[in-house]
Amino acid sequence: MTGANSAVGLRSMPARYVFLDEVDAYPASADEEGDPVGLAEARSLTFAHRRKVFLVSTPTIRGVSRIEREYEASDQRRFFVPCPHCGVMQWLRFERLRWEKGKPETAAYHCDACDERIEEHHKPAMLAAGEWRATAEARDARTVGFHLSALYSPAGWKSWADIARDKETAAGSDEAERVFRNTVLGETWIETGDAPDWQRIAERREDWPAGTVPDKGLFLTAGADVQKDRIEVDVWAWGRGLESWLIDHVVIEGGPARPEAWDALTDLLGRSWRHAGGAELGLARLAIDTGYETAAVYGWARSVGFAQVAPVKGLEGFNRASPVSGPTFVDATAGGKRLRRGARLWTVATSTFKAETYRFLRLARPTAEELQDGAAFAPGTVHLPGWADTEWIRQLTAEQLVTVRNRRGFAKLEWQKLRERNEALDCRVYARAAAWIAGADRWPEATWADLEAQLGVPSGIDSPAGMIGRPDAGTQGKRRSDWLGRREGWF
């Protein structure tokens, strides 16, 4: 047994049978020595025709899913079962499962041939009488592929009603829909990476006082992008369901070679922004890109401490188990001296957060009338202030996801710039990573309630996200939170 990230483990000994589990979660390369599946397969080559390689996985994203690519090269077997009414053999498709909206318990399967209702209690006999049948010609006659969804789950595991319920629960959230498609239907998710229309986003800008935090924004993070002649920083507020608001956009003139630029960035760490509830909010975390002038970034981060600052490195690719990993300890230079393990570095799968940002930007919004009636914004909604100019918005929508093929014909998804400047998108991704590092993706309900209590705002537990400028914006307490985002704080 070995891990997909270990090149040594993957090529250590010959093996006639190779079993590769969850291949869609493998890294693109093991220890930079190449494709882990290729390395593992090579171990069986000496056994020639007696060898067997078995790949298994829950599929992930269309275009990058390895198991889908392998399945499509196979004879694509499906499990055919007979209809209890007309006897026609068919494989089960989610589209044939029907139920009354809001009543998943009424779910029944409908025969593809006679359209009769097939009930859950028919399933055991159908499964017993089923058989695997190829639905395509394999590229190589020795490659067989099998696909099975949860629609085939035996009694007591997952019923058709359970699947209908899962589907209803997932509705409205792209993330939940993706998990449903991947894990229940065993199908890939099609990531829509088209850049959102910047003009449409510009039309949705909202008016709240510049530099202040609306009541549903519960903590602040910043993303800093270091350029040759300046450092750009965007400050974002985050609320329940990762609804977010752009709070500030700071351009520090002078590049990483100028000490004044770093002093200005240090000042930013001590700054605060007025919350609608009256409190002052500091930055819980600032994530800073180390791609340009790595040593200067490490040196500065070291001088201000790693409690509030997270140096980050962006990585391509979707199939990482976690969008952020680390921190790892890296060498830093201080006062001309090299310090072993003197800095901490977080690795960010930027693709994941870019796709999420674009998904969030495309979310439908309640109308003014619906808001009046108490409707809430969907979790993840991105709010931009009126002062965000068109250049900034065009930077935010500066990239699109495209499928590219390498020389061997393997498809891969890649973000491509549609225009030269994209700092707003980079800063957003780093600020999002900072929220992840602060723990927001894993906080229990009690933590959100605690933040609300600290800020003196009403609990948002009943609504997935909040409204701006609600008249009963809680107590107007002027107490200053001594821990929200302060360096000695509890984040």
**Position 125 contacts Zn ion (CB under 5 A):** no
Complex with Zn ion: residue 94 or 238, whichever CB lies closer: 94
Structure token digits, residue 377: 């914004």
**Window of 106-114, 190-198, 237-245, 269-277 that interacts with Zn ion by CB under 5 A:** 106-114
Minimum CB distance to Zn ion, residue 165 (Å) = 25
Figure out which of the listed residues 113, 144, 171, 461 binds Zn ion, where binding follows CB under 5 A.
Answer: 113
Give the number of other Cβ atoms within 10 Å of residue 95's Cβ: 8
Complex with Zn ion: residue 111 or 455, whichever CB lies closer: 111
Figure out which of the listed residues 8, 16, 98, 114 binds Zn ion, where binding follows CB under 5 A.
Answer: 114
Minimum CB distance to Zn ion, residue 146 (Å) = 24
Minimum CB distance to Zn ion, residue 96 (Å) = 11
Minimum CB distance to Zn ion, residue 414 (Å) = 45
Figure out which of the listed residues 4, 20, 67, 83 binds Zn ion, where binding follows CB under 5 A.
Answer: 83
**Residues touching Zn ion, count (CB under 5 A):** 6
Minimum CB distance to Zn ion, residue 115 (Å) = 7
Minimum CB distance to Zn ion, residue 86 (Å) = 3
Q: Give the CA distances from residue 258 to residues 250, 253, 265, 293, 300, in Å, rounded to whole numbers and listed in that order.
A: 17, 9, 11, 12, 12
What stretches of 36-184 adopt beta strand conformation (E)? 52-55, 77-82, 89-91, 97-100, 103-110, 117-118, 131-134, 146-147
**Position 226 contacts Zn ion (CB under 5 A):** no
Complex with Zn ion: residue 85 or 158, whichever CB lies closer: 85
**Position 86 contacts Zn ion (CB under 5 A):** yes
**Window of 82-90, 245-253, 264-272, 340-348 that interacts with Zn ion by CB under 5 A:** 82-90
Strand order in the sheet with 244-253: 324-334, 337-349, 309-315, 283-289, 219-226, 230-238, 244-253, 382-383
Q: Which helix (H) or strand (E) holds 212?
A: strand 212-213
**Position 274 contacts Zn ion (CB under 5 A):** no
Q: To 10 degrees, the CA torsion angle through 215, 216, 218, 221?
A: -100
Minimum CB distance to Zn ion, residue 83 (Å) = 3
Complex with Zn ion: residue 83 or 195, whichever CB lies closer: 83
Residue 57 sits at the vertex; the CA angle it makes with 53 and 60, to the nearest 5 degrees, is: 135
CA 299 to the chain's CA centroid: 30
Q: At what angle do helices 423-438 and 350-361 cross, to 10 degrees?
A: 100
Minimum CB distance to Zn ion, residue 127 (Å) = 16
**Window of 13-21, 56-64, 110-118, 315-323 that interacts with Zn ion by CB under 5 A:** 110-118
Minimum CB distance to Zn ion, residue 276 (Å) = 60
Complex with Zn ion: residue 116 or 445, whichever CB lies closer: 116
Q: Which residue has the tokens 């006659």?
A: 141
Q: Which helix (H) or strand (E) holds 8?
A: helix 7-10
**Window of 1-9, 57-65, 112-120, 463-471 that interacts with Zn ion by CB under 5 A:** 112-120
Sign of the torsion formed by the C-alpha atoms of 57, 61, 67 and 68: positive
| Residues near 115 by beta carbon (within 8 Å), at least 6 away in sequence | none
Minimum CB distance to Zn ion, residue 156 (Å) = 25
Q: Residues 265, 224: contact at Cβ < 8 Å?
A: yes
**Position 85 contacts Zn ion (CB under 5 A):** yes
**Window of 27-35, 81-89, 91-99, 243-251 that interacts with Zn ion by CB under 5 A:** 81-89
Complex with Zn ion: residue 160 or 415, whichever CB lies closer: 160
DSSP single-letter state for residue 481? P
Q: Residues 253, 230: contact at Cβ < 8 Å?
A: yes
**Window of 93-101, 111-119, 343-351, 386-394 that interacts with Zn ion by CB under 5 A:** 111-119
Q: Residues 222, 236: contact at Cβ < 8 Å?
A: yes
- Cα separation of 345 and 327, whole Å? 5
Figure out which of the listed residues 111, 296, 437, 451 binds Zn ion, where binding follows CB under 5 A.
Answer: 111
**Window of 105-113, 259-267, 418-426, 437-445 that interacts with Zn ion by CB under 5 A:** 105-113
Q: Between β-strands 89-91 and 77-82, what pairing exists: parallel, antiparallel or unpaired?
A: antiparallel
Q: Name the residues that contact Zn ion, by CB under 5 A.
A: 83, 85-86, 111, 113-114
